[in-house]
Amino acid sequence: MGLLWTFVEVFAVLILIALFGLVSAVVSQAYRRRQNHTHIEAPAIFEDPSSLKQVPCPSITDPAEKYISLIIPAFNEEHRLPGALVETMNYLQQRAAKDKSFSYEVLIVDDGSADGTKRVAFDYVKKYTVDNVRVVLLGRNHGKGEAIRKGMLHARGELLLMLDADGATKVNDLEKLESQIHAVAKKDYHHGDSAASDSRFRISDIPIAAFGSRAHLEVKALATRKWYRNFLMKGFHLVVLLTAGPGIRDTQCGFKMFTRAAARKLFTNMRLKRWCFDVELVYLCKWFSIPVIEISVNWSEIPGSKMNPLSIPSMLWELAIMSMGYRTDRKVIPG
């Protein structure tokens, strides 16, 4: 019996030490970030491939110059990026040919790639002109969340869509998100059917978010994935529910659209730089009372994913930091 109590006591001490270490790390990191905001203000670089000059990027605080901006984060995507860009540019050009009022830009955010991603991206700038395709260079790898944040902060669209470089979601599904955003804007802001002809109505001024969702594919995915991957995913979903609350079934789909007003609020406040920035976006939408629509999209798994089970501990750590930071009203979250 004495041996059992000794084991219980040792186990309890180890748990307390671990909890103390976690809390200390959270407080230390939060304090350090509170004293140093340079990671938020670090300027992105926009490079004109014709003149080779580096110029400041446009700001999300400026008035919109395009109808839609597509932000594509890219880290070592030399091989997958071309396929996604071909599909994306074909769709955008065809739509622009049918509707002369439709204007667009594609922002490729090179997140410190070590392969030929930058070269591939600039090939498309030269082909489609710098007005339609732009490359933002981050210099070193920061993480997907930071790459998307930089792209959003320097986009020119009334609507801003984030999508993955692998082309897992069909780009024409953006019309589903787009139409729902317009419908919610008309309904919630009482413009009715006259909104389109009302010169005062600007979709860019109304904060709304639309999240693409793969939740309708979950049953099929559960049947085909390994048991341990399902276990880890279910556990992660539970943690997300406890952290960000209910309301969104699929927080991690990389296909999300925001009005300019929503993007300005969300991405000037977002702190997480890597995997769990999507969860923070859900939290911030609730914080700012921004309506969120979840819409089923077509999705297919593309080989080459950078997500693996070893990323789970890092994701849990980010969620713990986020939860602690916001609940203590610090809002300084390490990346």
pLDDT, position 266: 96
DSSP 8-state symbol, 328: T
Q: Is 128 exposed, middle or buried (0-12, 13-18, 19+ CB in 10 A)?
A: middle
Please report the DSSP string for 65-79 in residue order. Answer: -EEEEEEEEESS-TT
Q: What is the mean pLDDT of residues 26-43?
A: 43
Least confident span in 102-111, 215-224, 322-331: 215-224
pLDDT, position 43: 58
Asked if residue 213 belongs to a domain, the reply is yes
Asked if residue 5 belongs to a domain, the reply is no
Examine the pLDDT at 29 and tell me if it is beyond 60: no
pLDDT, position 298: 85
Report the alpha-carbon distance of residue 100 to residue 60 in Å, rounded. 24
Model confidence over 49-58: pLDDT tens digits?
766 667 667 8
Structural domains counted in the chain: 1
Report the alpha-carbon distance of residue 274 to residue 255 in Å, rounded. 16
Asked if residue 82 belongs to a domain, the reply is yes
* Residues 317 and 274 sit within 8 Å (Cβ to Cβ): no
Residue 178 belongs to domain with CATH number? 3.90.550.10
Average pLDDT, the chain: 77
Asked if residue 335 belongs to a domain, the reply is no
- For residue 74, give Cα distances in angstroms to 42, 64, 111: 19, 24, 6
Which of 26-30, 81-85, 279-283 is predicted most confidently? Answer: 81-85
Asked if residue 310 belongs to a domain, the reply is yes
Asked if residue 324 belongs to a domain, the reply is yes
pLDDT cut 90: percent of the chain above it: 44
Asked if residue 21 belongs to a domain, the reply is no
Which pLDDT band, with edges at 50, 70 and 90, does 248 fall under? confident
Examine the pLDDT at 35 and tell me if it is beyond 90: no
pLDDT, position 37: 38
Which pLDDT band, with edges at 50, 70 and 90, does 9 fall under? low
pLDDT, position 209: 97
Examine the pLDDT at 162 and tell me if it is beyond 50: yes
pLDDT, position 278: 87
Model confidence over 188-218: pLDDT tens digits?
766 555 544 556 678 999 999 999 987 655 5
Asked if residue 210 belongs to a domain, the reply is yes
Q: What is the mean pLDDT of residues 273-299?
A: 88
Examine the pLDDT at 27 and tell me if it is beyond 70: no
Please report the DSSP string for 105-174 in residue order. Answer: EEEEEE-S-SSSHHHHHHHHHHHH-TTTEEEEE-SS---HHHHHHHHHHT--EEEEEE--TT--B-GGGH
pTM over 0.85: no
Q: What is the mean pLDDT of residues 167-174?
A: 91
* Residues 291 and 184 sit within 8 Å (Cβ to Cβ): yes
pLDDT, position 268: 94
Enclosing domain of residue 224: 46-189+203-328
